[in-house]
Amino acid sequence: MQEKVLMKGNEALAEAAILAGCRHYFGYPITPQTEVAAYMSKKMPKIGGVFLQAESEIAAINMVYGVAATGKRAMTSSSSPGIALKCEGISYLAGSDLPALIVNVQRGGPGLGGIQPSQSDYFLATRGPGHGDFHVIVLAPASVQEMADMTLKGFELADKYRMPCMLLADGTMGQMMEPVVLPDPVELDKTPKDWAVTGTECKREHHIVNSLYLSPKKLEDINLERYERYKKIEEEECLWEEFMMEDAEICIVSCGITARVSRNAILEARKQGIKVGMIRPITLWPFPKKPLLAAAEKVKAFISVELNMGQMKEDIELAVRCKKPVYGCTRVGGMITTVDDILASIKEAVKGDE
């Protein structure tokens, strides 16, 4: 157990990646995640690791692809516009069944947008960021502690299922400082992977890391196998947290910084006699549909609190199968939802039910 330290979210995740055994980081500067690259550039050379400032986000993700192909843990980090550039490479990672961690500390968009916090890449992350049928596992931390913990979890899941994993943080999570207990260093299994390119030593058939299958039947089979894995992930890897849901009549659904604000709004609403609770998705893909569907039997309405125009709201509606109304409480462009914004939505939801 390590001691409690005060750290910025971006630095906590960088240190956690090192503790997770990642020794290869490739990135390109972009606000608000540049501290990750700065931290790695300082740390990696001292521990025999590799920090490389790539010529572009595209090159960075392809360097990650190269390291991942050799069976080692690799990561890159960026923010929204840079993640768009990485999508090609993420699709190839998924198509070649390679594990990797991609960090997205989101800022407002579209286009160049702004540099303030946002959750506007929800669709991009949860719908398979790139061309083709695929998913990445998406983790949404809501504290600096979770920035560190989810980094470890992300590498673990990526390795377990041989697929890319995205840590989807909003800019606030990257920039704010909080006390954090860093994880203990991970002891990695050094057994050579039976798919990695490590040189044949003229002792085995060559390994090929590839996403090209010109036979439609073969390509279909590979997609079907991959979706079997996805099904297993949906069944076994959903993470969420419930807050004051025991007697809740209104259920807020929110992740990241807006989940933090929502907690305060819930406490305030309860002071006013309104029973509100929260389900906070921690994995955005797989999306925690089961607890939401179960809650739909008990609550009168859901409120999706998010820093975009209502992207997660669609997933909530699908999860609760429209059994109960889902209201939206949204701010965009770097504006952050306030307790008052949420209270107003709570009152709207209560009124709507009457």
Partner 1 sequence: MAVVFEKPKALTDAVLHYCPGCTHGIVHRLVAEVIDELGIEGRTIGIAPVGCSVMAYDYFTVDMVEAAHGRAPAVATGVKRSDPSKIVFTYQGDGDLASIGMCETVHSAARGENITIIFINNAIYGMTGGQMAPTSLPGQVTQTSPYGRNTETQGFPIRVCELLSELDGPAYLERVTVNNVKNVRNAKKAIKKAFQNQIDGKGFSLVEVLSSCPTNWGMTPQKALEWIDEKMIPYYPLGVYRDKDGENNG
State the residues that interact with partner 1 by CB under 8 A. 24, 26, 50, 52, 54-56, 58-60, 62-70, 72, 74, 88-89, 92, 96, 197-203, 206-212
Task: Give the residue with the Cβ less far from partner 1, 78 or 258.
Answer: 78
Query: Closer to partner 1 at the Cβ: 65 or 243?
Result: 65
Phi, psi of 303 (to 5 degrees): -130, 125
Nearer residue to partner 1 within complex by CB, 3 or 201? 201
Question: Least Å distance between CB 53 and partner 1?
Answer: 10
Specify the residue, 26 or 155, whose C-beta has the smaller distance to partner 1: 26
Q: Which residues pair with residue 81 across a beta bridge?
A: none
* Shortest CB 66 distance to partner 1, Å: 2
Q: At 267, which helix (H) or strand (E)?
A: helix 256-271
Give me 105's structure tokens. Answer: 């500390």
Determine the residue type at 286. Answer: P
9-19 and 34-43 helices, crossing angle to 10° = 40
| Shortest Cβ 84–partner 1 spacing (Å) | 15
Radius of gyration of the chain (CA): 21
- The residue among 50 and 239 lying less far from partner 1, judged by its C-beta, is 50
Strands 283-285 and 276-281, sheet pairing: unpaired
Cis amide bond preceding 32, omega within 30: yes
Kindly state the smallest distance separating residue 230's Cβ from partner 1, in Å. Answer: 22
Longest pairwise C-alpha distance within the chain: 75
Residue number with CB closer to partner 1 (95 or 109): 95
Q: Is 70 in contact with 41 (CB distance < 8 Å)?
A: no
The least CB distance from residue 65 to partner 1, in Å, is 5
CB 351 to partner 1: min, Å = 52
SS3 227: helix
Query: For residues 107 and 170, is the Cβ–Cβ distance under 8 A?
Result: no
Closest CB 295 distance from partner 1, rounded Å: 42
Comparison of 7 and 37: residue with beta carbon closer to partner 1: 37
In one-letter notation, the amino acid at residue 153 is K
Residue-by-residue DSSP string for 285-299: ES--HHHHHHHHTT-
